[in-house]
Structure 1
């Protein structure tokens, strides 16, 4: 049955609501971490509240992508939303840390389904030229969640108690579920091929091992090396299986297409080049610029705001013209230039200077953040839409996780090596540094400048690699007609449901 214009608008509103719910859940929880872990008596294991969620959402991406292609994205989307609501209830009722981590793992698994199927459903209900605009709208949920999540999490924790950080998902989630049941259409699944169980198991083991290896990188003992060895072996097994199976969970044949190969590299730049450093920006500005915690938060806010503006603008522009190649080239070049400037900035400048530079980096990143997903989707066969969407997100997420751990280790080692006698890097907080004598404050600030400068330079090189990958994208125009392999019912639905961008 063709989608009416009203139903399509309901569909977009439903996907945006669910995407925002999934993105907000992660950012709201970060503010309450110390309170939650302290009340459950596991302060030393606090990081697992985030690691468990991230790990689960990462490893399930390829499995859910292939599952969506096989049984249809609507079923996976609705099931993920229902499980997410139940897991949120379980998190709030947690009475010990093991219970909470188990519920967070389930929540992370379902969150992967929400993120992935939202993008897949957009791809299957729009023409290629329309996807950038609607994926930009859906993608806006993430930067908005970063902007308001920590503040909202703090207010909920202070006035309602930490369980409501999770329970607040329930009424919103139930409303979104009712909305989605009405709005999300039935989309024909692909061929009923045998599911690639061996490839799924090998890839899951590889991803879990790699994430654990980088998570344990700074700790003593052989854990990190053993995990990395297991991850490499599992990856070898995975590639052998994928080359031999008739229906692989990650079709390696797709990467023979230049658009998909180059687009996947460009997508990874978002995670490796920007998401990885964002978490450390407040600490850098508190130490190097001697600001308060509140003021230091302005820099990531400016970065994310730039990302949000460029994300929406480029999605709208590409949906009007169909020409996409200039935006990832310009975006990666702007990001590289901005991070190079950050590496060269001298100490003692007003805070607005680096804040402006990082806003420019955000603008550059936003120019291709959601757009590149639409480009890669358009190059893949319709039967592999969920799979290729999962692969693009997987590369971005793994890149962010690995790069974040590496940057954290470099900061810790660099600061510890340069600190003068009498100061311990393990106990050096911004409060301790700000209470020290002015000469010592200046020395600590200079140390942080010296440690972060090569990190910014390295990230600038990462973006420069992105410029090369973006330049390799074919100079084509996104089609304004439905994919003929999409199927008759869906093709008619697209033509009726979605007005041309000029008439929207």
Structure 2
């Protein structure tokens, strides 16, 4: 593709992924305002849960359907679904409508994140893919940090509706660019899509989330509705297990649970998602209801948590790539997270915002040391054939943990709030005309009450939110205990090329095993090509005395006839005069010949032999990077396919 056209495509893909990633977190600081407008405080958690559930459960379908039927128009479909859901969310007039439309939005959001990353592999050469993968990982990081802050800004300066409306112009731009500029992908992979597995697992998960949300609050635990949900969840899980044993391409193979590393990492990931989204959902409510800060400031006060996550994710990745050790990172991380949750559980209406910021920083550091590392642990533990599905599996459990966390902690919050309000109302003489239901439905109304009356209600809300973290802390302590059961194994080379986005994103990327290895391989090769690769390659190929720039020229001319010298200089981003000494050296050695007018170049017979040695040496280095995955024909073909793409590319020319 022409570079300008490619740039537009990449920007559109990143924009689509950014919108989907932002909508996991941007709504958190708007929730108190949404509740004050629409009512339904007890349903607050489902605004987040609905999106997470829909995006997570639909992810495997988007990935497989994209492989099978082509990604362009499926990506267009995902954008349209997401935009329709966004528009309807902004138009919602009740909490029930908003929850339903958020689920529709999540359905499209899952497709945006999965397909955007897959399309990059269709339009970008292997040589430059590592760079773009890093950019897409950065999108997740940016969305995680700025999402709550942006949500607060929109609420303060526009209205909560614009948290959803902002998606429309940005999504329309992405839609136009994709339709106009993205070529139809020719390659298609046939799949036996596990529809039964997706539907049964999604149904069982939804029943369990509803059970934890309604049990003890909306319905007593002994109510037929709760018992029916529990029974339906058990039946659906059993049916799912039977379906997975029969499926040719199961959404989550049951044999993965025989691996201790996968089982423990999935359990820890579940709890990490539980804590992260629980904190993001209920802390803005504490800040706005108890401290009376604006939505923008409530997003600002969440930054220590997000900054801690981002910083420690980067540091953890560096530690693992340099030392090959990972076991003690999740142990330390869950310990930090447990301490952070315990500190948050001691919040009262009198706690300072600086105290809360320190608490959030500790929690964020703990989550950052854990989230990305769990993906690496699982990738390092499974066989090649299970690599793709195991990676998506561990991120699936983290996403489902987020949905359970918001729903379960929402139930805890509502139950404690109702109990505390009942006690306050029983002992407090209320002024004439005051409706206590107003405070229950609109938390921000507390700030408008007389000081002597507001104090009791501030305590009620602070106590209910602190209880949320008192429940979350021992659950995180269980995760800390489970991390000690994660085994340390020798780290595979391609697993060292961890992606920051994979650690911070809440939705699985849903890639095949081959695509997972290729992802790590091209990033390792990208880093290697920038560190004197052509000097080493020339020495291995017997081209002693040839400058690295000359080795690059040989690689660039390989497999071609006459090449315009001006085109070669343009490819190297130098003038012809700058490149001429290196060509002269190759001509003198009999490796390259010039045309009579000296405007064209091509390899001589000896030059083609030298180019063959370069290719073989590069191929062997790539095979060495994937050797620890075993002797797979697929991996051999992968190395053979990538090698010519890596050599002689614009981005790796020696300076």
Scaled by the length of structure 1, the TM-score of the pair is 0.77
Residues in 1 aligned to 2:312 and 2:169: alpha-carbon distance in whole angstroms: 30
- 1:335/1:463 contact within 8 Å kept: yes
Q: Distance in 1 between matches of 2:368 and 2:389?
A: 23
SS in 2 for 1:249: coil
Equivalence for 1:146? 147
Counterpart in the other structure of 1:398: 400
- The residue number in structure 1 matching 2:639 is 491
2:568 is matched with none
Q: 259, 262, 265: which is aligned to 1:260?
A: 262
* Alignment equivalent of 2:282, drawn from 280, 283, 286: 280
Give 1:206 shift. Answer: 1.6
For the 8 Å contact 2:214–2:411, the answer to whether it is kept is no
Work out whether 1:210 is the aligned partner of 2:212. Answer: no
3-state SS, counterpart of residue 328 of structure 1? helix
User: What is the Cα deviation at residue 85 of structure 1?
Assistant: 2.0
What are the Cα deviations for residues 447-479 of structure 1, in whole angstroms up to 9, with x where unaligned?
A: 445444443233222222222333322223242
CA contact (8 A) 2:307 2:364 kept: yes
Shift in CA distance, 92/271, structure 1 to aligned 2, threshold 3 Å? closer
CA distance in 2, matches of 1:57, 1:368: 22
Retained in 2: the 8 A contact 1:343–1:456?
A: yes
2:439 to 427, 439, 448: 427
Structure 1 counterpart of 2:374: 372
* Alpha-carbon distance in structure 2 between the residues aligned to 1:8 and 1:252: 40
- Cα pair distance change 1:430/1:391, threshold 3 Å: same
1:249 is aligned, of 248, 251, 264, to 251
Q: Structure 1: how far apart are the matches of 2:132 and 2:290?
A: 42
Larger displacement relative to structure 2 (404-413 or 477-486) = 477-486
Specify every segment of 5 or more residues in structure 2 that has no aligned partner in the other structure, as ranges: 431-435, 495-624
Residue 447 of structure 2 aligns to a residue whose secondary structure is helix
1:232 aligns with 2:270: no
Q: 1:83 aligns with which of 73, 77, 84?
A: 77
Residue of structure 2 aligned with 1:463, choices 476, 480, 486 = 476
From the superposition, tell whether residues 157 and 176 of structure 1 become closer, same or farther in structure 2 (CA, over 3 Å): farther
Rg bigger for which structure? 2
Which structure has more relative contact order (CA 8 Å, sep 6+)? It is: 1
Bigger mean CA offset, 160-169 vs 391-400 = 160-169
TM-fit CA distance, 1:358:
0.8
Structure 2 residue aligned with 1:115: 113
Change (3 A) 1:388 1:187: farther
Residues in 1 aligned to 2:137 and 2:445: alpha-carbon distance in whole angstroms: 42
Residues 223-250 of structure 1: CA distance to partner in whole angstroms, max 9, x if unpaired?
4543343222211211233235454321
Q: Which residue of 1 aligns with 2:170?
A: 169
1:487 is paired with a residue whose SS is helix
1 CA distance for matches of 2:187 and 2:310?
30
Instruction: Please tell me whether residue 477 in structure 1 is matched to residue 491 in structure 2.
Output: yes
Q: Is the 8 A contact 1:332 1:364 kept in 2?
A: yes
The 2-side partners of 1:251 and 1:317 are apart by: 31
Q: 476-485 or 413-422: which moved more?
A: 476-485
CA distance in 2: counterparts of 1:91 and 1:453, whole angstroms:
33
Q: Would you say 1:363 and 2:365 are equivalent positions?
A: yes
SS at match of 2:262: helix
1:186/1:497 Cα in 2 relative to 1: closer, same or farther (>3 Å)? Answer: farther
- Aligned partner of 2:306 among 282, 304, 307: 304
Show CA shifts across 1:39-98 (max 9, x none): 9xx877997776654332132134445667xx47x945x455312222245346658889
Q: Which residue of 1 aligns with 2:617?
A: none
Structure 1 counterpart SS, 2:439 = coil
Deviation at residue 14 of structure 1 after TM alignment: 7.6
Distance in 2 (CA, whole Å) between partners of 1:170 and 1:293 is: 25
Q: Partners in 2 of 1:410 and 1:102 — Cα distance?
A: 23
TM-score, normalised on structure 2?
A: 0.61
C-alpha separation in 2, matches of 1:380 and 1:231: 29
Deviation string 1:375-424 (CA, Å, 9 cap, x unpaired) is 32343344444432332232122222222122122222212222313573
Structure 1 CA distance for aligned equivalents of residues 35 and 451 of structure 2: 35
Quote the Cα distance in structure 2 between the aligned partners of 1:447 and 1:29.
24
User: Are the structure 2 counterparts of residues 13 and 368 from structure 1 closer, same or farther at C-alpha, using a change threshold of 3 Å?
Assistant: farther
- State the secondary structure of the residue aligned to 1:324: coil
Aligned twin of 1:351: 353
Per-residue deviation at 1:143? 0.7
Q: Structure 2 CA distance, aligned partners of 1:458 and 1:237? A: 32
Q: Is the 8 A contact 1:136 1:371 kept in 2?
A: no
Does residue 219 (structure 1) correspond to residue 218 (structure 2)? The answer is yes
SS of 1:19's equivalent in the other structure is: helix
1:167 aligns to what SS in structure 2?
Answer: helix
1:334-365 Cα deviation digits (max 9, x unpaired): 11112122234566342101211111211211
Structure 2 match to 1:195: 193
Which secondary structure does the structure 2 equivalent of 1:174 belong to? helix
* More moved, 319-328 vs 285-294: 285-294
CA drift of 1:167 comes to: 1.5
Q: Which residue of 1 aligns with 2:53?
A: 55
Say whether residues 1:332 and 2:334 are aligned partners. yes
Does structure 2 conserve the Cα–Cα contact (< 8 Å) formed by 1:18 and 1:173? yes
Q: Distance in 2 between matches of 1:122 and 1:319?
A: 25
